[in-house]
Amino acid sequence: MTLLFFLFGFLLSTTISNVAAKDFCIADLKGGLTPGGYPCKSLQSVTVDDFVFSNFTVGTPNQLKMSFTPAFVEQLSALNGLGFSLARVELEEGGVVPIHTHVDATEVTIPTGGNFTIGFISSDNVVYMKTISEGNIFVIPKGLLHFGLNVGKGKHSAIYVFSSEHRSLQVVDLALFGSNLDSNIVAKTTFLDIEQIKKLKTLFKGSG
Residues 136-175 binding a second copy (CB under 8 A) are 136-145, 147, 149, 159, 161, 163, 166-175
Nearest alpha-carbon partner for 41 in 65, 16, 58, 22: 22
Determine whether the annotation assigns residue 107 to a binding site: yes
Q: How far is the CB of 115 from a second copy (least distance, A)?
A: 14
Q: How far is the CB of 26 from a second copy (least distance, A)?
A: 9
Sheet holding 116-121, edge to edge: 127-132, 116-121, 146-150, 96-103, 168-171
* Contacts (CB under 8 A) with a second copy, residues 14-53: 14, 16-18, 20-25, 28-29, 31-40, 43, 47-49, 51-53
Beta bridge partners of 130: 118
- Give pairs for 193-202: CB < 8 Å, separation 24+: 200/173, 200/176, 201/177
If one asks whether residue 198 binds a second copy (CB under 8 A), the answer comes out as no
Q: How far is the CB of 118 from a second copy (least distance, A)?
A: 9
Element (H, E) at 197: helix 194-203
If one asks whether residue 194 binds a second copy (CB under 8 A), the answer comes out as no
* Contacts (CB under 8 A) with a second copy, residues 87-116: 95-99, 101-104, 106, 108, 110, 112
Determine whether the annotation assigns residue 102 to a binding site: yes
Query: CA 208, CA 203: separation in Å to the nearest integer?
Result: 13
Determine whether the annotation assigns residue 146 to a binding site: yes
Q: How deeply is 105 buried, as exposed, middle or buried, from its count of CB atoms within 10 A (0-12, 13-18, 19+)?
A: buried
User: Which C-beta is closer to a second copy: that of 114 or that of 140?
Assistant: 140
Query: CA 142, CA 162: separation in Å to the nearest integer?
Result: 9
Q: How far is the CB of 165 from a second copy (least distance, A)?
A: 9
Binding residues with a second copy: total (CB under 8 A): 139
User: Which C-beta is closer to a second copy: that of 76 or that of 153?
Assistant: 76
Nearest alpha-carbon partner for 165 in 78, 39, 98, 41: 78
If one asks whether residue 205 binds a second copy (CB under 8 A), the answer comes out as yes
Q: How far is the CB of 153 from a second copy (least distance, A)?
A: 18
